[in-house]
């Protein structure tokens, strides 16, 4: 019987031989991501047990990204603990403020992620890196401590759902619309502890940045991971940036066994919005009645889902020559310092400024209701983030709508949810 990509990846990193769904295995880890929120508890665990040692500092990448710059004393202490730990352990790959970024954008941008790796991070959206043909999964602080010390971690090998993306995206429709449609179809638990494996002609047309948007939201469907086979698009992205030229590309066997198979004809898609308070509450923007388009207080263009340079270009294309609706706050947060600099040099900041937006340094802050855009009671936010659960971006009485950067930009202009195609 053939194997899926995830099964091949885990087999290659396991001591147990061929891996099948349901097997409990111990897997070698190639890359560990650490940030200032969930890593300090892991550090304390290791110190408490006299195990304050990293198996291989060269395989650990560290950055502050959630509360950047520090928003209060507690976040300052977390960041300080992280810096001291980095120094004590001789960790080379540390990205301090000024050359920092949101972890799931920074790792691939800086060439740390290559095909064939096992990648873990103490953040649920570590699944993003499956876009490069890796097994990438989020973990908690306890598992992080174990992996930092041993270089290995146990997993239950997941079943795989095959997702075929066919057709070509119409103008005004983006990869965010694809993944919102998928979650609409299967629900937030539709891929619970399974792998989402993507195939199809539409996938080949997507850039790496667009692909990462799709794999980023695997966890919003309940998935353990998402994976796309590395191809020429992947290799072009890695050219000149990969930290290593040694990697392995895994593809699924023709007779691989899948738990389920889905096909989405992307040529039939329209701009989609996930209504409060689940990512699965997808509707086409065009289908919303007038009384379903409540006035918007804030538009947020940021996060590990949609704040890369391509996303900022899309938003700027729509906002060029336009003005933000009076009464609407628009916060633009590039995902990394590099994306920030590119957006500045390309004149995108001028477009955002003239439209009436505020521009921030890279941070996760507003996405999780931490800072730089926290919502008050009864406020409405249209956001390019990945979650719209109750209280996700602030007060439990606030409401969050998930959209693509294009829809976010169009909404900022009109002040209510707006189909971006009218601006293209």
How does pLDDT run across 135-183, given as a tens digit for each residue? 999 999 999 999 999 999 999 999 999 999 999 999 999 999 999 999 9
Tokens representing 385 are 């983030």
Is the confidence at residue 373, as pLDDT, over 90? yes
d(CA 132, CA 73): 37
Nearest to 272 by CA among 185, 208, 189: 185
In CATH, the architecture of 5-265 is: 2-Layer Sandwich (3.30)
> Do strands 194-199 and 298-301 pair parallel, antiparallel, or not at all (unpaired)?
unpaired
Mean pLDDT calculated for residue range 329-339: 98
Task: Kindly provide the b/e burial profile for residues 361-379, where b requires at least 16 CB atoms within 10 angstroms of the residue's own CB.
Answer: bbbbbbbbbbbbbbbeeeb
Is the confidence at residue 52, as pLDDT, over 90? no
> For residue 103, how many C-alpha atoms fall within 13 Å in the half-sphere facing its CB?
32
Mean pLDDT calculated for residue range 256-270: 98
CATH number (3.30.310.50, 3.30.499.10, 3.30.43.10, 3.40.30.10) of 274-423 reads: 3.30.499.10
| CA angle centred on 281, ends 278 and 283, rounded to 5° | 150
Mean pLDDT calculated for residue range 370-376: 96
User: Are the CB atoms for 194 and 159 separated by under 8 Å?
Assistant: yes
Show me where the domains of the chain are located.
Answer: 5-265, 274-423
Is the confidence at residue 126, as pLDDT, over 90? yes
Mean pLDDT over each residue of the chain, to the nearest integer: 97
Mean pLDDT calculated for residue range 219-226: 98
Task: Kindly provide the b/e burial profile for residues 274-291, where b requires at least 16 CB atoms within 10 angstroms of the residue's own CB.
Answer: bbbbbbbbbbebeebeee
**In 127-281, at which residue ranges do the beta strands (DSSP E only) sit?**
135-138, 152-156, 159-166, 194-199, 225-228, 260-265, 272-274
| pLDDT reported for residue 77 | 97
Instruction: Tell me the Cα Rg of the chain.
Output: 21
Is the backbone of residue 20 left (phi > 0), alpha (psi -120 to 50) or beta? beta
- Give pTM, 2 decimals: 0.97
């Amino acid at each position: 019987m053939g194997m899926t990509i995830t099964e091949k990846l885990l087999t290659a990193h396991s001591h147990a031989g061929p891996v099948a769904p349901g097997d409990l295995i111990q897997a070698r880890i190639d890359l560990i991501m650490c940030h200032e929120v969930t890593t300090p508890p892991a550090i304390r665990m290791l110190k408490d047990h006299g195990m304050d040692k990293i198996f291989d500092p060269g395989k650990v990448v560290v950055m502050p990204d959630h509360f950047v710059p520090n928003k209060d004393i507690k976040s300052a202490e977390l960041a300080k603990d992280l810096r001291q730990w980095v120094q004590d352990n001789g960790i080379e790959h540390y990205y301090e403020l000024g050359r920092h970024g949101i972890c799931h954008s920074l790792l691939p941008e800086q060439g740390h992620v290559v095909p064939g790796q096992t990648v873990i991070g103490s953040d649920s959206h570590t699944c993003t890196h499956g876009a490069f043909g890796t097994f990438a999964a989020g973990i908690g602080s306890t598992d992080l401590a174990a992996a930092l010390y041993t270089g290995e971690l146990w997993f239950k090998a997941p079943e795989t759902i095959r997702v075929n993306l066919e057709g070509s995206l119409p103008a005004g429709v983006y990869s965010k619309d694809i993944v919102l449609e998928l979650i609409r179809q299967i629900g937030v638990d539709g891929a619970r502890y399974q792998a989402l494996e993507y195939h199809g002609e539409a996938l080949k047309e997507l850039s790496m940045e667009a692909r990462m948007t799709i794999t980023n939201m695997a966890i919003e469907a309940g998935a353990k991971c998402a994976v796309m086979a590395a191809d020429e698009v992947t290799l072009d992205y890695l050219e000149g940036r990969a930290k290593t030229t040694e990697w392995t590309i895994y593809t699924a066997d023709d007779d691989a066994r899948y738990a389920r198979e889905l096909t989405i004809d992307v040529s039939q898609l329209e701009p989609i919005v996930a209504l409060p308070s689940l990512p699965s509450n997808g509707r086409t923007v065009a289908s919303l009645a007038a009384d379903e388009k409540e006035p918007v207080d804030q538009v947020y263009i940021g996060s590990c889902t949609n704040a890369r340079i391509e996303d900022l270009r899309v938003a700027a294309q729509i906002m060029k020559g336009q003005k933000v609706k009076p009464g609407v706050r628009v916060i633009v947060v590039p995902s990394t310092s590099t994306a920030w600099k590119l957006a500045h040099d390309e004149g995108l900041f001028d477009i955002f400024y003239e439209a009436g937006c505020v521009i921030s340094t890279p941070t996760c802050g507003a996405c999780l209701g931490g800072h730089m855009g926290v919502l008050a009671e009864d406020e409405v936010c249209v956001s390019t983030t990945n979650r719209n659960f109750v209280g996700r971006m602030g007060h439990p009485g606030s409401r969050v709508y998930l959209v693509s950067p294009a829809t976010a930009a169009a909404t900022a202009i009109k002040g209510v949810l707006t189909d971006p195609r009218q601006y293209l």
